[in-house]
Structure 1
């Protein structure tokens, strides 16, 4: 890891500790300092910070917090991008965004309502970016717009449930787009075309398989362009995990393919190549995607005896990893933009196979590969009426005609089209008629 990233990791650890008013658990030799300090300049604090980690920030507190940050600086803008089934707003926060910015990073927090630590990290990060006066942060924001969806599943967060108010897992809805929450995320990706999509989650520990403080996983879907896939793995393996390790946290890759002790196959795939999961949808849509999971279960006596200690460890590990993602965005800016730009234009060439299954660790069966893709798919008027909104939210271009609509493959979202419309696709919107001749 470069000297610059090491400094970021140390600074991030210090920042994370400063946000908490009691010592944070970390492994022996941790770089995380003890002690506490209030946020700079009397800036607002989250409910989590005010309670010393004893409880999570309420939605009323989130609204008040974001309003205060928005009013305090012109670096921040807060908008509503959707409304849930129970009438709660899904908010998007923009930080930075001057005319000279070139890079865009999207943070998606708490898609699962019972996984709150990423939301807390996102909220405090919005505040810290907004109020920061140091040259490094100013330089980052002069060239990067940071978009944050602090609570991607407000109804689930209110009920402390994984799914939304209808019991739907939002992180399995990034193809069908049946939920208000999934549609809101899709619209942000379409409208802002983030170079990096960073998805914050938590997981329940399973000793021997899952017992690390922090796990991460990149897009495994085989339709992810090779340069985008390479940058996503770099984000995980050279930035997020090393930074967490340097701060004293144990790390690993999410998804256990073999038993770490016996070597026997386990194939706990964590949805490896499924296009409906956000980290894979991000890759297919030409963004450098990463899923990050922090462990909810306490492992030390201190964490077992005091829930706040465990909560602080969860949030701190998220903060360390998140700030490493900012360092990645800053240090590899040119490589990231080259990768995402090339991927977005490659579909216009209309070449190469498209994969309906498989993953980067599990080759697709021949039946799961369209070796010679059609020119496009034709939809009947009834089909088009049923799916035109979803196609538009995905940023897929279609041509309505008197017989329905034609959806060509020759477009930026080329690989996505068959996943939405081919009769063999697992999570298709509808079964379009393949048009072999252009």
Structure 2
């Protein structure tokens, strides 16, 4: 149409166009013919100077050519627009891939910093986000293809469509691979977190038990050694147990505070049994017999008397050399002797029981041999102490914990109704005297 109007305007403006007179009419009239732009405007005439007429077929062909030219121009504009959109989509796809790769590297770094209280984000969130991005790209691709179809009346060129499908397939493959990696990392993270949590819970449990034990000890006694074990009945089930294990020894000193008024005999203040020898070391007063010291089931009678219901400090020393022994009461040496299991080392790996005599290691007690009373400050050394040290402990002028068995709350367990009670031994002894 544009070409037609240009031609008409040109003809009327110039006034030099060729016109044909209609024959057979009373007068003259002008006949205008549409010609394309750029066409020679000199009207074709025949030899008689008459304008040649145009056939309908030629007119239709001209109109078709004009429409095709306009359609081609519109298609060019549409293709340029679509190429710009495709470039934008490729750019966004490239940025998406780069962003996904950077987030993957950053997340791996974050996982390497897995500490308590600084855990990485749940990988499921990343999987969900990548899925949303993938779906968004699919939707945009579908919209772009629909827009192209509506604008041009046909689909994308096959080459472009294949390229986009190939890129989409690659992106789907990368997404599936990343999903699998994230699932594996999630599983590893869960296992590591569970193991770390279990170790933490075990550590906290141990600390809590230790704190509870210390709080209980501190709430009951002013200091770990200021307590006594009370065994009020003559039974075969009240007793205390020392948790410490003895090494092999070639000499020893055992000291303790005792208070008993039981008769006949105070029973067994302590016994040490080892596999194969239940009477490795025993201190016992049974029936009307005097107090006896047994080493490897060999017996020495001690000139001690502690059944008056008052606190007494007792110390016994022994050495494998010639089987020499000494007995102290309240800081004074009352007896010595030799040939008590000479050259016999004290065996390790046994059990020390307070208040009972062992017939097998750690058990089979006899009620008639049980200690009735109270005892405290049971200490053992792997050497023979000097008389001056023993006297200082008996006079409450010094306190020496045993280097093999020290008397502390954590080392003593009680069973069967035996109790541990607070006691400041020297103050209580002064009150009794």
Task: Give the shorter-chain TM-score range.
Answer: under 0.3
**TM-score, structure 2 length as denominator?**
0.18
**TM-score, structure 1 length as denominator?**
0.18
Structure number, greater radius of gyration: 2
